[in-house]
Amino acid sequence: MEVMSDLPRRAVTRTIKLAALPAGLAGRTVVGLGKRVGGRPAELVAREIQQRTADQIFRVLGELKGGALKVGQALSIFEAALPPELAAPYRATLTRLQEAAPPLPAATVHRVIASDLGEDWRDLFAEFNNEPAAAASIGQVHKAVWRDGRQVAVKIQYPGAGKALINDFTQISRVGRLFGVLMPGLEVKPLLDELRARVVEELDYRMEGVAQQAFAKAFADDPDFAVPQVVMATDHVLVSDWMDGTPLSSIISDGTKEQRDRAGLLLVRLLFSSPARVGLLHADPHPGNFRLLSDGRLGVLDFGAVDRLPDGLPPLFGKMLWLVHTDGDIADVEAELRAHGFLLPGITVDLDALKTYLAPLAEPSKYESFSFTREWMRAEAGRMADLRGTNIGRLLNLPPSYILIHRVSTAGIGVLCQLEATASFRAEVLRWIPGYGPADAVGADPVAAG
């Protein structure tokens, strides 16, 4: 059995499916032009094109595994921003795909393990379950008992996963302009290049093991987080302590308000604090990588994609929040954006419009408590995706060094909106985000003070 042949069977099939995306956009654009000629408002027609494009992108990527599904997972968090008629079926499709990937046959699993751990690999385990406990886009996890008696998770990489990833991203890069329909103002090519580099890193289980162990060491005995210890890591096999708990996807669908608020607060705390505590940022914050444990801690899994931030988060974010929260000089905000490459030379912006654009983005950390909702996410996404030329978002650039941080922050906000979490997120900003406050009083709380 060819493992990757289920993803789907032939490379030509994958190419045809991906190639259909730009053709679909072209057809919708022609139809939209006809509707505008017929008197329909341009904004309404543009919105319809966006919705149909989103539907097709998610549906086609969802039918493919490997690299295409990885991109789908990265974009899936925007599900919270989609109109309800698109969000519901897409949410169900992605969940089904992520939870029901075709498993490797036992013989193939054994060959992968033997290739990396040696023909006597069974001596390392007291028990090994041939049925996978979980499956994802480039590998699957088996539950086992290590020779010392502890329960472990054995992550096995699909044979051929590397080739499939590279092929998928080559195809996806050719239709990258489609994602600009969903996210106007975003430079799509560097985003895809960065995403491609990070996903390819996920093929290196040794590198993942090093990152996971760094998190495990930093958060050992932590009251808020649990990270499995690494037992063994090779190129295609990663063995770590088993982790029970309730998947975040189940908390989203069936959790109590208390559980959803707790999970949301801890997710923010993890993402904000880990650059300072570990020098790494977990770069794949989708619900499948988290568990809520019975003792209230957030279990964290899958460290294949991380952003290396040895100096912590850039102080830019703290400076920007400070200026917006305190109603500072918007000219200073513009200067910061230009200094860090978010506004390119030759691009001019209306300062009042810039202030209006940025204010809602700072709301979650401006007040002592904030509630993330799907409605808020959809409103924000609609505001940023406004196709009118006056939209400030269309004038902003995203520097390559900030691409992964942007992905993580956007994905994190999406999860918070799926959780509909309410918590004191401001406190986490004040504690963990560098640069917040004036030069002589970083960390002060001007909102509370006055």
Q: Give the pLDDT confidence of 112-147 residue by residue, as tens digits.
A: 999 999 999 999 999 999 999 987 667 899 999 999
Predicted local confidence at residue 400, as pLDDT: 76
- Residue 171 falls inside a structural domain: yes
Q: Using CA atoms, how far apart are residues 125 and 149, in angstroms rounded to an integer?
A: 9
Phi-psi group of 388: left, alpha or beta (phi > 0 → left; psi -120 to 50 → alpha; rest → beta): beta
Domain end, chosen from 200, 227, 254, is at 200
Q: Please tell me what DSSP assigns to residue 147.
A: T
- Residue 15 falls inside a structural domain: yes
- Residue 267 falls inside a structural domain: no
Quick one: which of 281, 295, 288 has its CA closest to 225? 295
Confidence of residue 54 (pLDDT cuts 50, 70, 90): low
pLDDT at 81 over 70: no
Confidence of residue 35 (pLDDT cuts 50, 70, 90): very low
Mean pLDDT of 325-349: 90
pLDDT at 39 over 50: no
Q: Dig out the tokens for 204 from the structure.
A: 């290196």
- Residue 122 falls inside a structural domain: no
27 and 171 within one domain: yes
| Whole-number average pLDDT of the chain | 78
Residue 126 dihedral angles phi and psi, to the nearest 5°: -80, -35
Task: Tell me what percent of the residues of the chain surpass a pLDDT of 70.
Answer: 67
Q: Please tell me what DSSP assigns to residue 279.
A: S
Confidence of residue 378 (pLDDT cuts 50, 70, 90): confident
175 and 44 within one domain: yes
pLDDT at 414 over 80: yes
Give the torsion sign (CA, 336, 339, 343, 345).
Answer: positive
186 and 51 within one domain: yes
Which is more confidently placed, 431 or 386? 431
Q: Dig out the tokens for 295 from the structure.
A: 């003792």
324 and 194 within one domain: no
- Residue 82 falls inside a structural domain: yes
pLDDT at 102 over 70: no
Q: Using CA atoms, how far apart are residues 152 and 128, in angstroms rounded to an integer?
A: 9
Q: What is the 3-state secondary structure (H, E, C) of 363-412?
A: HHHHCCCEECCHHHHHHHHHHHCCCCCCCHHHHCCCCHHHHHHHHHHHHH
Predicted local confidence at residue 294, as pLDDT: 94
- Residue 264 falls inside a structural domain: no
For 253-263, the pLDDT digits (tens) are 999 999 999 99
332 and 190 within one domain: no
Predicted local confidence at residue 152, as pLDDT: 98
Q: Dig out the tokens for 83 from the structure.
A: 């109109």
Domain end, chosen from 171, 200, 229, is at 200
Which is more confidently placed, 341 or 83? 341
Confidence of residue 244 (pLDDT cuts 50, 70, 90): very high
Poorest-pLDDT segment among 1-10, 85-94, 267-276, 336-345: 1-10
pLDDT at 383 over 60: yes
> What is the count of structural domains for the chain?
2
pLDDT at 435 over 70: yes
Q: How many angstroms separate the first and last alpha carbons of the chain?
A: 68
∠ Cα 296 420 320 (to 5°): 95
- Residue 209 falls inside a structural domain: no
Confidence of residue 196 (pLDDT cuts 50, 70, 90): confident
Domain that residue 388 falls in: 316-449
The count of other CB atoms within 10 Å of the CB of residue 254 is 10
Residue 445 dihedral angles phi and psi, to the nearest 5°: -115, 85
Poorest-pLDDT segment among 25-34, 58-67, 176-185, 268-277: 25-34
Predicted local confidence at residue 393, as pLDDT: 74
Mean pLDDT of 281-295: 92
Q: Using CA atoms, how far apart are residues 215 and 270, in angstroms rounded to an integer?
A: 10
Q: By the 8 A CB rule, do 267 and 418 touch?
A: no
Q: By the 8 A CB rule, do 153 and 130 touch?
A: no
Mean pLDDT of 160-187: 64
- Residue 85 falls inside a structural domain: yes
Spatial CB neighbours of 341, under 8 Å, sequence gap ≥ 6: 397, 399
30 and 176 within one domain: yes
Which is more confidently placed, 392 or 300? 300
Q: Dig out the tokens for 3 from the structure.
A: 């493992």
pLDDT at 417 over 70: yes
Predicted local confidence at residue 135, as pLDDT: 76
35 and 177 within one domain: yes
Domain end, chosen from 200, 222, 248, is at 200
Poorest-pLDDT segment among 45-49, 190-194, 331-335, 371-375: 45-49
Which is more confidently placed, 395 or 205? 205
Q: Is 210 exposed, middle or buried (0-12, 13-18, 19+ CB in 10 A)?
A: middle
Q: Dig out the tokens for 430 from the structure.
A: 């004040």
The count of other CB atoms within 10 Å of the CB of residue 63 is 17
Predicted local confidence at residue 30, as pLDDT: 36
